[in-house]
Each structure stands twice: as C-alpha cells, then as structure tokens.
Structure 1
Amino acid sequence: MKVVAINGSPRKGGNTSQALKVMADELQKQDIDVEIIQVGYLDIHGCTACGYCSTSEKNRCVFKDDIVNETAEKMREADGFILASPTYYAGIAGAMKSFLDRVFFTSSGYFKFKVATSISVVRRAGGVDVVHQLNNYLNLAETILPPSQYWTSAYGMDKGEVMEDGEGIQTLRKNARAMAWLLKVVHDGKEKFPLPYDEGHIMTNFIR
C-alpha cells in the first residue's frame, strides 16, 4: 500500500516537513510506502473555474505547466494521502490552497473511500482552523478520516521546535497508526464488502 503526503510549506526541512516525517515513519513501520511531495515553494496557478477538467481526458486541469496534474494522478493511484500545511493568518498557506482547489476540483471523484488525514503546524494559534479547512476537502471528497486523541496540530516556530511539542507529536503518531489500521481494513474489506451504491449528485442552488 502507498500513501502520498503533500507538504504545503514553502520551507524545506521546516517544521511541517518534520511533522510529516513523524507520520511517515509510523506508516512505514506498518509496511506502508510514503511519498512526500512538497508543493508550498512552487508557483502554482489558482483554479479559474473554467470547467476544462470536466470534459478533458482523465479530468486533467487546463494548466499543464506546474505539478498539479502529475501529483493528482499519484493521489488517485495511492491508497491514501495526507495534507499538511503551516498556519498563515489562521488559514492554509497560499500555494497549498491553490494546489488543493485544483486537485480536488479535478479529482474528488477518484478519492471516494480512500483513507486521508490532515495536519497543521502553528506557532501559537489558528492551527485548528487549518485542520478544519483541510478537512473540508477530505469530507467533500468522501474520504475516510482516521481519528486521534486531539486535533492534529503541532506547535513550533523555528526549525525543529515542533519536535519539542510532546503532545502534538504523540497526536500525529496516533493519527498515523490509526491511518495504517484503516488502510488495511479498507483494503481487506473491499474483497468482502462492495463499496456503497453511489447515486447521482443532486445539485440544489439556493436562488433558483
């Protein structure tokens, strides 16, 4: 099995990277491969809601000069994925937001019942908001979220400080172990229990 971890931080080797490594180490102990892809330092177009992906081959995005289509394909093929972002004004970092808007607009239909989780890194406050914002993507894509003992935020400012947050790091480890367990349950369960019947999405607009 394989998990793709998305690092939304622009800082290489920073606290978000170290928090993801904690998760990856736990998953690898369970014989689950992890590929970490850092997108936060890249120049990524925002979604323009052009609709190209709804009719294009493999629902690929119209912008082909960045990492989005390539990474979306890896996430579609993986058994699960992790979204990680530092906290900017109690929100997702900019390049990560642009990346997520396009990946999930093109690929949510491919993510149903995959196991996915999110983590945030924060200096002081706003990290729970980031987890909630990341989870909005996961919930609307109908993924399965593993639990932990607390919100999956870890605290630190300078490089390496996140590792001093004992409770935060423990929370991430527990989340990763729950993710590994769920990945195996879903993988083995598919052989006995088919995925739920999926009826067409009824769209209701509030002004007409």
Structure 2
Amino acid sequence: MKVLGINSSARKDGNTAILMNKIFEVLHKKGIETELVQLSGQVIEPCKACWACSDQGNCVHRKDCFREIFGKMKEADGILLGSPVYSANISANMQALLERAAVVGDMNPSLFTHKVGAAVTAARRGGALQAIDTMNHFFLNHEMFVAGSTYWNMGYGQLPGDVKEDHEAFGNMENLGQNIGYLLRALKERQDG
C-alpha cells in the first residue's frame, strides 16, 4: 500500500511538510509506503477546458509537472493533500492541481473510486477550515473515503518550523495517520477477502 502526499506550499519542507511528515511517520510504522511531492518552485498551470483528457486518462498538456503527479495519484492507494492557507483558502498551485485532476477524473470515471483521502493545512491564523473543505471536496466528488481525526487537520505557525510548537496539531496528525492506516488496511482486507 502506498500514500502519495502532495504539498502545495511555496516553502519546501515548511510547516505544511512538517505536518505531513508527522503523518508519514505513523504510516511507516504500519508498513505503508509513502512519497511526498513538493510543489515548491514549480507552477501548475490551470485547466484549459479543452476536454482532450476524455480519452487519455491524463491531461494532454505537458508544460508543467501535472501529468507526472497525476499518474502517481492514480497509482496510490491513498492521497494526502497539504496546503498552507493563502487568502483564506488553498494555494494557487493546489487549486490548479485539483481543478485539472477533477476534470480528468470527471472525464474518466472511477480513477479515484475507493481510494483514501486526507487533507491538512498550516495556517498563521484563519482560513484553515475553508482550505480543508476545498481539498476534501475533491475527495468526496470522486468517490473517495475521507479519513478524519479528533479535530480539524490543521496546525498553526507563521515562520517555517513554528508549527512544531502546536502540540495539539501534532497529536491530531498522529491520530490522522493511525486512521489513514486503519482505513487502508480495512479496504485492502475487504478487497482481498
């Protein structure tokens, strides 16, 4: 089993990545493979609404890293999305990624059906719930199972590393990792049985 993490922060290894890596620590202990893709320094172009993806299973445009990331999304058993909060919502790169992935997914039904999804966000103050909701809507609209935790999947911090001081967030990320692992194993057992 494998979980793909996509960190859309402009800061590589910043607060969003720190939260995601805490979840990955738990998954590693459960024997679940992980991969973290960081979009820092890259630009995901918006969807061009050309509908050429209807018979391709992936976006036809090749000017950015979307095709490679989307291929990994299709192969993964679980997808962990992470975004910092910019202007009370997700980053522009995450928005573009989700819009293009949603169109390809809509044109090719069942690409994400029954995968596990979870979303996390790092915020300085407000907007975290809107960011989580936006990412969760992608999962829900593509028949994925959303893993939850004991509180909203967010951590607070302004400067890189500040989120490490949010002990409640770290406990929540650990619990989220447990729940992602549980859900992945339950789905695998049902599929194998």
The answer to whether the superposition gives a TM-score over 0.5 is: yes
2:96 aligned partner, one-letter code: S
2:130 aligned partner, one-letter code: D
2:37 aligned partner, one-letter code: I
Deviations 1:176-198 (A, max 9, x none): 11000100000111123xxxxxx
State the percentage of identical aligned residues.
32
Deviation at 1:128, TM superposition (A): 0.9
TM-score between both structures, scaled by the size of structure 1 = 0.88
Contact kept? 2:12, 2:40, Cα under 8 Å: no
Residue 87 of structure 1 is matched in structure 2 by 85
Residue 78 of structure 1 is matched in structure 2 by 76
Higher RCO (CA-CA < 8 Å; seq separation 6+)? 2
Counterpart Cα distance in 2 of 1:36 and 1:18? 11
Deviations 1:45-65 (A, max 9, x none): 101211010123xx2212112
Q: How does 1:110-189 map to 2 (within 5 A)?
A: 110-189=111-190
Q: How does 1:22-33 map to 2 (within 5 A)?
A: 22-33=22-33
Deviation at 1:160, TM superposition (A): 0.8
Task: Number of aligned residue pairs: give it.
Answer: 190
Contact kept? 1:81, 1:117, Cα under 8 Å: yes
Aligned counterpart in structure 1 of residue 101 of structure 2, from 100, 103, 114: 103
Contact kept? 1:5, 1:35, Cα under 8 Å: yes
1:68 aligned partner, one-letter code: F
Deviation at 1:73, TM superposition (A): 1.1
Question: Where has structure 1 moved over 4 Å in runs of 4 or more?
Answer: none
Structure whose alpha-carbon radius of gyration is higher:
1
TM-score between both structures, scaled by the size of structure 2 = 0.95
Deviation at 1:40, TM superposition (A): 4.2
Residue 38 of structure 1 is matched in structure 2 by 38
Deviation at 1:116, TM superposition (A): 0.9
Query: Are 1:50 and 2:57 matched, yes or no?
Result: no
Deviations 1:56-82 (A, max 9, x none): 3xx221211211111111111111110
